[in-house]
Amino acid sequence: MANPSLLILPGDGIGPEVMTEVRKVIDWFGTRGMTFDVSEALVGGAAYDAHGTPLTDETMEMAQNVDAVLLGAVGGPKYDNLDFSVKPERGLLRLRKEMDLYANLRPAQCFDALADFSSLKKNVVAGLDIMIIRELTSGVYFGEPRGIFTEGNERVGINTQRYTESEIARVARSAFELARKRDNRVCSMEKANVMESGVLWREVVQRIHDDEYPDVELSHMYADAGAMQLTRWPKQFDVIVTDNLFGDMLSDLAAMLTGSLGMLPSASLGLPMANGRPKALYEPVHGSAPDIAGTGKANPIACILSFAMALRYSFDAGAEADRVDAAVEKVLADGLRTADLLGEEGVEPVTTSQMGEAIVAALAAS
- Residues annotated in the binding site for Mg(2+), as ranges? 224, 248, 252
* Candidate list 18, 19, 63, 93; residue touching ligand IPM; CB under 6 A: 93
By rule CB under 6 A, what string of x and - marks binding of each residue 202-241 to ligand IPM? ----------------------------------------
| Alpha-carbon distances of 84 from 10, 51, 79, 88, 93, rounded to whole Å | 21, 16, 10, 9, 12
* Candidate list 8, 19, 69, 92; residue touching ligand IPM; CB under 6 A: 92
125 torsion bin: left (phi>0), alpha (psi -120 to 50), beta (else) = alpha
Q: Virtual CA dihedral for 218, 97, 74, 264, nearest 10 degrees?
A: 20
Binders of Mn ion in range 230-249 (CB under 5 A): 248
* CB of 92 vs ligand IPM, minimal distance in Å: 5
Of 131 and 359, the one with the shorter C-beta distance to ligand IPM is 131
Binders of ligand NAD in range 82-121 (CB under 6 A): 89, 92
Of 89 and 329, the one with the shorter C-beta distance to ligand IPM is 89
- The listed partner (ligand IPM, Mn ion, ligand NAD, none) that binds 93, CB under 5 to 8 Å by sort, is ligand IPM
- The listed partner (ligand NAD, Mn ion, ligand IPM, none) that binds 292, CB under 5 to 8 Å by sort, is ligand NAD
Catalytic positions, written as ranges? 141, 191, 224, 248, 252
Segment lying near ligand IPM (by CB under 6 A), choices 6-14, 86-94, 230-238, 305-313: 86-94
Segment lying near ligand NAD (by CB under 6 A), choices 125-133, 148-156, 166-174, 290-298: 290-298
- For the beta carbon of residue 176, count every other beta carbon within 10 angstroms: 22
Sign of CA dihedral 323, 325, 330, 336: positive
Q: Is 248 in the site for ligand IPM (CB under 6 A)?
A: yes
* Candidate list 239, 261, 327, 363; residue touching ligand NAD; CB under 6 A: 261
Sign of CA dihedral 309, 311, 315, 318: negative
The answer to whether 222 and 193 have CB atoms below 8 angstroms apart is yes
- Rounded to whole angstroms, the Cα distance separating 358 from 317 reads 22
Q: Which residues contact 245 (CB under 8 A, 6 or more apart)?
A: 139, 140, 141, 161
Query: Residue with the closest Cβ to Mn ion?
Result: 248
- Rounded to whole angstroms, the Cα distance separating 356 from 361 reads 9
- The listed partner (ligand NAD, Mn ion, ligand IPM, none) that binds 298, CB under 5 to 8 Å by sort, is ligand NAD
Of 198 and 284, the one with the shorter C-beta distance to Mn ion is 284
- Rounded to whole angstroms, the Cα distance separating 210 from 343 reads 47
What is the binding site for Mn ion (CB under 5 A)?
Answer: 248
What is the binding site for ligand IPM (CB under 6 A)?
Answer: 75, 89, 92-93, 248, 285
